[in-house]
Amino acid sequence: MNIIEHVWDYLDRRLRHRERPPKTRDELWEALQEEWHKIPLKYIRKLYLSIPRRIQALVRANGRYTKY
């Protein structure tokens, strides 16, 4: 339901596909910051605009499982 989960997944995929994966905690932090700044605004906007649809699906499902 929460769009940030999709952002975390996006970051995870970007990190796993880096030519040189981070090896230390500091490298991971640097890589996360780099990838965070590369997230396309169009992607964030798409997630944001999906919120009403997500809420509607949740209401229809009476708070149970949805595809989101």
Per-position pLDDT tens, the chain of length 68: 789 999 999 999 999 999 999 999 999 999 999 999 999 999 999 999 999 998 898 898 887 778 76
Provide the whole-model pTM. 0.76
User: What is the number of structural domains in the chain?
Assistant: 1
Rounded to an integer, what distance in angstroms lies between the CA atom of residue 57 and that of residue 37?
31
Task: Provide, for the chain, the percentages of residues in helix, strand and coil under a 3-state DSSP scheme, each rounded to the nearest 5.
Answer: 70, 0, 30
Q: Which two tokens stand for residue 66?
A: 């949805």
Q: Is residue 67 part of a domain?
A: no
Q: Is residue 40 part of a domain?
A: yes
Q: What's residue 45's pLDDT?
A: 97
Q: What's residue 63's pLDDT?
A: 79
Q: Is residue 68 part of a domain?
A: no
Q: What's residue 19's pLDDT?
A: 95
Q: What's residue 66's pLDDT?
A: 80
Domain span at 29: 3-60
